[in-house]
Amino acid sequence: MYPKLVIDLNKVKNNLNKTIEMVKGSGCSLMIVTKGYCADMEIYKLLEESDIDYLADSRIQNLKKYEGTTKERVLLRLPMISEADDVVRYADISLNSEIETIKKLNDAAGRLNKKHKILLMIDLGDLREGIFFENEDEIYHSVEEILKLENIELFGLGVNLTCYGAVIPKKENLSILVDIAHKIETKFNIKLQMISGGNSSSVYLIGKNELSEGINNLRVGEAFLLGDETAYSQMLEGFYDDAFTLEAEIIELKEKQSLPVGETGVDAFGNRPVYEDLGVIKRAIIAVGRQDVDPDHLHPIDPSISILGASSDHLIVNADKTESNYKVGDIVKFKVEYSSLLRASTSSYVEKEYK
């Protein structure tokens, strides 16, 4: 069945070992982030056998699949109050920034007779989750409130960078997090176990030996999956970028002109597309679409074909310059970037195959 996401477990394992070597070699503990591929259970088996410390995901449904794991489970997205019970049930640690939510987690933990650990998130300027780093009063007030809660342990601090604001982690911003942690420790006479210094955009600092002292955890998804550090989009040495590939089938192959005929309005997604006049070209329609991939972040492995566009269920490819003699029914292979991997993993129309 096509389309198909092909997962090369040997390459995944290679990337996993390289990630462990890199992150744990730097002295940090390692959370492997599993949301990029919908917490696939074959990959879970590799993780379970490995030396990683935590399984982390943004969705409680994914953490729930890891029932019985020997690793600690971490919820990455700030909990919804409406899911507080499940958060305590299925996560050992969650990332938080709202005292109201933390109080609800405390209540849930009481009901379930558990202790729940939290990382208090600090926003160093990326403007996604966390208490803004300049609002020291809010930070201290939150800590004070958290320390009153019987069933919550303030396990440490965390920051997330790059995902929204595209802010690059550096010694300058990460050291602010370490500083805040030290101030909290002194002010409240407590020890914070974990200072989590970000995601795949922080790993480049390890190579440069510039990860701020005091950062003792990283949460890594994309670098592990696709082998790239996400601050400057460089491939990491010894990693594979094709542990995941997508295969899809040609359903039409015809020569047509490259400009639509007639007055044009908006496409199926409300965009007003602009087309380049390439004359009459051989075009392939491939049976995969925006529902299953992100066509802007998908790359044919055959360099002589290129993506022209896509609708929900169709990918249109320029097959004019290729020497390969494609026919209807042939399978075309693609490398995936993160957004395509995410969609392909989530789409119920995409089969999975392991090799």
Q: Is residue 345 at the binding interface for ligand PLP, with CB under 6 A as the rule?
A: no
- The CA distance from 220 to 162, in Å, is 13
Q: Is residue 227 at the binding interface for ligand PLP, with CB under 6 A as the rule?
A: no
Residues 146/152, Cβ–Cβ less than 8 Å: yes
- The CA distance from 5 to 342, in Å, is 11
Q: Which of residues 20-39 bind ligand PLP (CB under 6 A)?
A: 33, 35-36
Q: Is residue 159 at the binding interface for ligand PLP, with CB under 6 A as the rule?
A: no
The residue from 15, 200, 217, 347 that contacts ligand PLP (CB under 6 A) is 200
- CB-based burial, 183-192: b 16+ in 10 Å, e otherwise: ebeeeeeeeb
Give strand pairing partners of 306: 318
The residue from 17, 29, 58, 291 that contacts ligand PLP (CB under 6 A) is 58
- What phi and psi, each to the nearest 5 degrees, are found at residue 137? -60, -45
The residue from 199, 217, 245, 318 that contacts ligand PLP (CB under 6 A) is 199
Site string for ligand PLP, 69-98 (x = CB under 6 A): -------x------------------x---
Q: Is residue 160 at the binding interface for ligand PLP, with CB under 6 A as the rule?
A: yes
- Nearest residue (CB) to ligand PLP, 62 versus 160: 160
Q: Of 11, 35, 65, 71, which is the active-site residue?
A: 35
Q: Is residue 220 at the binding interface for ligand PLP, with CB under 6 A as the rule?
A: yes
Alpha-carbon distances, residue 123 vs 36, 57, 95, 134, 262 (angstroms)? 23, 19, 12, 9, 50
CA torsion, ordered 215, 178, 207, 126, to nearest 10 deg: 110
Q: Does residue 208 have an active-site annotation?
A: no
Active site residue ranges: 35
The footprint of ligand PLP (CB under 6 A) covers 33, 35-36, 58, 76, 95, 160, 199-200, 219-223, 230
